Amino acid sequence: MMIMMMGTAGENIPKAPKEKTVFVEDLTDTDIPTGFPPGLENLGNTCYMNSTIQCLKAIPELKQQLMKMESAGQLNPNTMLSRSLRDLFARMDNQHSGISPGGFLSALRQVFPRFAARDDHGGFMQQDAQECWTEIVNCINRAAPGVNTSDQNNTFVKQYLGLEMDSKIQCLDSPDEPATTEKESQFILSCNITTEVNHLVNGIKLSLQNKLEKTSPTTGSIAQYQKTSGFSRLPNYLTIQYVRFYWKASTSTSAKILRNVKFPLELDMYEFSTPELQAKLKPARQLFVEQSERDADSSAKAKADDDKVKMDADQKTGKKSMPSEFADDTGSNNSGFYELKAVLTHKGRSSDSGHYVAWVRSETNAKEWMLFDDDKVTSATEEQVLALSGGGDWHMAYILLYGPKVLKSDADLA
């Protein structure tokens, strides 16, 4: 059989595509989009580190500042670990799955050899995620400079994670003894768990009231003192640790407090602040109130005329994100309002055993959460996150990361 082709050679010949066609079956695991950010492989009891990294990555300003760090220059343990975290963050932004954090793990163990400890069988030991979190943040504090400042002491971590407290110390045994004051700063707020604590707010309140014993300069003997504290500065990102572990001498182990201590998706720190800071917080807080009233009016109008309000809403584009920090204090929180960004949880009975995972709020949908269980990433709901408050053998909150509640409004902050 003969087939004859009609037409002029070279006429309307299809051109080869500019980019080579790639078929799904030809993609590697790291190239296939999963719809989720990538997880991190467990390299032998490294879930404590993986969950810490996933939570810290929920601070976009941290990643941005680490990316500005120069690769050249003096290399010390702090800069080495910070640059290694920067490089890992970059890989996590460019790959879809199957990321090995081996480079960062090597740097972590080089700087802190205790994270390379092995058990009696030769395997790497489980570690405390809070200790890992603290060491990483302290290294970044010593390596990453502050934003919009030439003051070398005003570091990025101090700006965006630094709490400041004012305390008044009054002698209870000698009321006439003049009270003393002191200032403190910290990167993590501890929530002690007692029989009186059923909610995070209760724990914060108790942490600001403490009784001390020390020698009185008035009587020369040991006296009781009351220490009352308040926050004089709130950071953009508030880190709170549930103090769930304690040393149990009878078994020589780190035992766990399983008590159910609930936490909110939104947290207001106004009542825990000093009067001076409360006064500074009021303008931004008033904008939240006004926006809430406008939203309520819009809802009422929607019930009266759904179509018109829908059209108005579609046409309205003037809303903008209001500043969440004071103009003269980079990295601060100017309202006292926070929303939960990430939760690091532990499942097990001691800090050096069990399993750690991270629960992180989606950057694109505030109602959606993701569960990072090493290299396995799945979706989660707000209800599942709120159920991490403890009371059993399920995953329970160990570290909470709150970020600023950002107001979208057409008003101006004076």
Tell me the per-residue pLDDT of 267-280, one tens digit each, with 9 for 90 and over: 999 999 999 999 99
Instruction: Identify the weakest region by mean pLDDT among 12-21, 31-40, 86-95.
Output: 12-21
Domain ranges of the chain: 29-298+317-409
First CA to last CA distance, the chain: 86
Q: How far apart are CA 107 and CA 109, in angstroms?
A: 5
pLDDT of residue 306: 56
Tell me the per-residue pLDDT of 70-86, one tens digit each, with 9 for 90 and over: 876 678 999 999 999 99
- Token couple for 284: 């931004």
Which DSSP string corresponds to 218-276?
Answer: TTSSEEEEEEEEEEEE-BSSEEEEEE-EEEETTTTEEEE-----B--SEEE-GGGB-HH
Quick one: DSSP state of residue 328?
T
pLDDT of residue 351: 79
Judge whether 47 counts as a catalytic residue: yes
Q: What is the percent of the chain with per-residue pLDDT over 70, rounded to a whole number?
A: 85
Q: What is the mean pLDDT of residues 373-377?
A: 97
Tell me the per-residue pLDDT of 36-56, one tens digit each, with 9 for 90 and over: 999 999 999 999 999 999 999
pLDDT of residue 184: 96
pLDDT of residue 56: 99
Tell me the per-residue pLDDT of 287-300, one tens digit each, with 9 for 90 and over: 999 988 888 777 66
Comparing C-alpha atoms, which of 102, 30, 117, 110 is closest to residue 77? 110
pLDDT of residue 410: 64
Judge whether 132 counts as a catalytic residue: no
- Token couple for 319: 């809303």
- Token couple for 145: 């400079």
pLDDT at position 24 over 50: no
- The pTM of this model reads 0.87
The CB-based long-range contact list for 386-391 (8 Å cut-off, 24+ gap) reads: 386/262, 386/263, 386/265, 388/343, 388/345, 388/359, 389/260, 389/261, 389/262, 389/263, 390/242, 390/244, 390/258, 390/259, 390/260, 390/261, 391/258, 391/259, 391/260
Q: How far apart are CA 258 and CA 8, in angstroms?
A: 82
The partner residues of 377 in beta bridges, in order of sequence, read: 372
Comparing C-alpha atoms, which of 393, 346, 386 is closest to residue 369? 386
The catalytically annotated residue of 139, 191, 346, 355 is 355
The catalytically annotated residue of 47, 132, 139, 171 is 47
Number of helices and strands (H, E) in the chain?
Answer: 10, 16
> Average per-residue pLDDT in the chain?
88
Cα dihedral: 293, 297, 298, 301 (round 10):
170
Return the number of other C-beta atoms located less than 10 Å from residue 353's C-beta: 15
Look up the CATH superfamily of 29-298+317-409.
Answer: Cysteine proteinases (3.90.70.10)
Instruction: Identify the weakest region by mean pLDDT among 81-85, 200-204, 302-306.
Output: 302-306
pLDDT of residue 150: 86
pLDDT of residue 250: 76
